[in-house]
Structure formats: structure tokens, C-alpha cells
Amino acid sequence: MYVGGVNMKLKVIDLFCGCGGFTYGFDYLDDTFEVIFALDKWKVACESYSVNYPNVEIVCKDALRLKPEDIPDADVIIGSPPCQDFSIANLKRKEDPTLINWFWKVVEEKKPRYIIMEEVPRAKYYVPSGVKIRIYKMCDYGIPQIRRRLFAGEFPEPTKSPINVTFPAVMATEYKGVGSKRQMTRLSKIFRRKSLIPEAKLVQTFPIDYYLAGNLKEQYIQIGNAVPPLMSYRLAEAIKRDLEGNSNILSAFVE
């Protein structure tokens, strides 16, 4: 993005990056954003991430072992602290907001201009008070899923692009290991089998050739964990539009 002949990019960091679904849209809009840092403790996900985003510094460590100075300053902080503990699909639910709290501590420290935390809707009780919360239905944004996701932070509204989901395109991984017989029956009625990796990628809007490290089980987990790349793109695009309409804000990013 050029302002007054100066090329400025917003520095982005992705905390709990997984295989990189949330990074996707920011990396795609590389005239506006530069993803400079990503963090995840899972080696397999880090390997996927580093193949898909070879220019991003990735730290493969437990977040709780990082010091604030290990994380660079950024204009945009995105991240999806692990949500298994909050999912209503998880029958052995044990609510531990430690990593969500850690995310907001980093935000408080770094004071980025834009913040987007992605979570399951139930995690709304763990978002600091006063922070904007939105729950978006994925099919309203062009993603073939009826699933709802929570986004919290400081970000402009993404543009809607609703599609009709004519069958409940539910990720097999969402139901894997879940004890509910009703859910498993519903799943097998839809697919009559477990979805294949390329099908799971399509439902999550990953490009078919998106690299995933690990064995099949690990690949399903990475896809299932991810923010759909198309949703990431819509959010990044909204920030880009926000900047374009706000040239006074842009001057703050001139280096």
C-alpha cells in the first residue's frame, strides 16, 4: 500500500498459528500486510506453517514459556488460543482460560492497532469486558459451513457474501472422538464415510495444494483447528479497506 509514495505494510503476528489458516488472508494481501512472526507449540503444525509461509519467523514453543520481549511489536495481532476446553462438543469440558488470558496480556503489552482473536462462541465469557465480540456464521461469508465462530478484538466488519449451504457441510474432525451417538449418525448420513483430506480442505476453503505435514490424523486436526482462509481474507480485506478510508491513520505507520 502506497501513501505519499511511501510503501507501508502493517506488521502482523499470529499467535497459536497452527498450520496457518488465520495467516492466509493477511499473507495473501501482501501489499498491505507483512506477517512477521508466528507461534505454536506443536511441531507438526509448525512444519506445515513454515512450508506455506517460508518468510515468516516461526517459534515452536509453549506460549507460556515466552517472555514479552520474545514477541515482536506488531500493528495487527491475530490468534486462536486453543479452544477444545470450551467446545460444547467436548463432553469432558474443563474450562481453562489460561491461554486466552495470555493472548490478552500480549495485546495489552504490544498495543497493536488491530486485534482479532478467534474462538468458539462459548469463550465469550473469557473475553475482557469492553472488547468487541462478534459471532459470525461461516456461510454468511461464503464458507460452506453452518458453523459459528467468535471473533473478538478491534477490527472493522468483514463484508458478507452469503451462500446457501444446501447440505450441512460439517467437518468430520469436529465430531471425531465425540461421544454423541446422535452427532455421529448425522455425520455418517452426510458423508457415509469420513471426509477425505482434499474435501476437508475445500470445506475449510484451503487451496487444494496447501501443504500439511504429519500423518492423516494430524492433517485432519490441523484442518479442523483452522480459521477458514476465506474468513481470514475477509477480515484482512476489511482492515485494508478501513485503512484506505482513513489516510490520517495511515500516517502512523510510516517508518
Least distance to ligand SAM from the beta carbon of 179, Å?
A: 21
Q: Look up cell 481453562; give the residue.
A: 96
In 3-state terms the chain splits into helix, strand, coil percentages (rounded to 5) of 40, 20, 40
**Cα-to-chain-centroid distance, residue 158:** 14
The burial class, CB within 10 Å (0-12 / 13-18 / 19+), for 59 is middle
CB 49 within 8 A of CB 87: no
Respond yes or no: is residue 83 known to be catalytic.
yes
Beta strand segments in the chain, E: 2-3, 6-7, 10-15, 33-40, 57-60, 76-79, 114-119, 132-137, 148-154
Q: Which stretch binds ligand SAM (CB under 6 A): 35-43, 143-151, 208-216, 233-241?
A: 35-43
Q: Out of 17, 46, 83, 139, pick the active-site residue.
A: 83
Contacts of 184 (CB under 8 A, 6+ apart): 175, 178
Please identify, among the stretches 57-65, 132-140, 156-164, 168-176, the one whose residues bind ligand SAM according to the rule CB under 6 A.
57-65
CB 87, min distance to ligand SAM, A: 10
Task: Choose, by CB under 6 A, the member of 40, 75, 85, 218 that binds ligand SAM.
Answer: 40
Binding mask 75-114 for ligand SAM (x = CB under 6 A): -----x-xx---------------x---------------
CB of 16 to ligand SAM, least distance (A): 4
Main-chain dihedrals φ then ψ at residue 79, nearest 5 degrees: 175, 150
Least Å distance, CB 144 to ligand SAM, is 17
Beta carbon of residue 79, minimum distance to ligand SAM (angstroms, whole number): 7
**Regarding beta strands 33-40 and 114-119, do their DSSP bridges make them parallel or antiparallel, or are they unpaired?**
unpaired
CB of 201 vs ligand SAM, minimal distance in Å:
12
Which is closer to ligand SAM, CB of 10 or CB of 78? 78
Instruction: Indicate the residue among 20 and 153 with the shorter CB distance to ligand SAM.
Output: 20
**13, containing H or E segment:** strand 10-15
Given the complex with ligand SAM, which of 18 and 240 has the nearer CB atom?
Answer: 18
8: cell is 507501508
Using CA atoms, how far apart are residues 98 and 103, in angstroms rounded to an integer?
9
User: Cell digits for 111?
Assistant: 498495543
Q: Which stretch binds ligand SAM (CB under 6 A): 56-64, 87-95, 178-186, 190-198?
A: 56-64
210 near ligand SAM (CB under 6 A)? no
> Residue 136 interacts with ligand SAM (CB under 6 A)?
no
Q: Which of 45, 74, 139, 152 binds ligand SAM (CB under 6 A)?
A: 45
* CB-facing half-sphere around the CA of 54: CA atoms within 13 A: 2
Q: Which residues of this chain interact with ligand SAM, rule CB under 6 A?
A: 16-22, 39-42, 45, 62-64, 80, 82-83, 99, 225-227
